[in-house]
Amino acid sequence: MKPAFTAFIPAALWLAITTFLLVIPGSDLPKDTFLDEIYFDKWVHIGLFSGLTFLTAYPFVAKNLASLKLLIKIGTGVIIYGVLMEFVQKYLALERSFDGWDILADATGCLFGFLVVNSLRLRIKRRESI
């Protein structure tokens, strides 16, 4: 049985929050040298994209419908979203710019989310085979 539509509400909300944060004007972002020193922006990207990957894949994992191939497709889709959002920042968002390092942080977040959800998938699969 497929996951219910409502199972994807957390992922949809996370996508909306992520999109909002990626397109707000640059002047609305905090400007603090301390935050720059700890690469806070990149950590935010990693967190947003790991969460998005996890929340999108989790309904399939919870119903034991997730294959490795499906998880790879979800991760790839989230990475593509991240790349597209960099172009949105470059051409449509006010006071924002394209940053290749953000794409790397987005992909790192996707990889982390993928590893967590795949680990959960394998744990569930092992438990059911016992």
| CA angle centred on 14, ends 74 and 83, rounded to 5° | 55
pLDDT truncated to tens, each residue of the chain (130 aa)?
899 999 999 999 999 999 999 999 876 666 667 556 667 889 999 999 999 999 999 999 999 999 999 999 999 999 999 999 999 999 998 888 899 999 999 999 999 999 999 999 999 989 887 7
CA distance 115 to 12: 21
Name the pTM for this structure.
Answer: 0.90
Number of Cβ within 10 Å of residue 57's Cβ equals: 25
**Contact of 62 with 127, CB cutoff 8 Å:** no
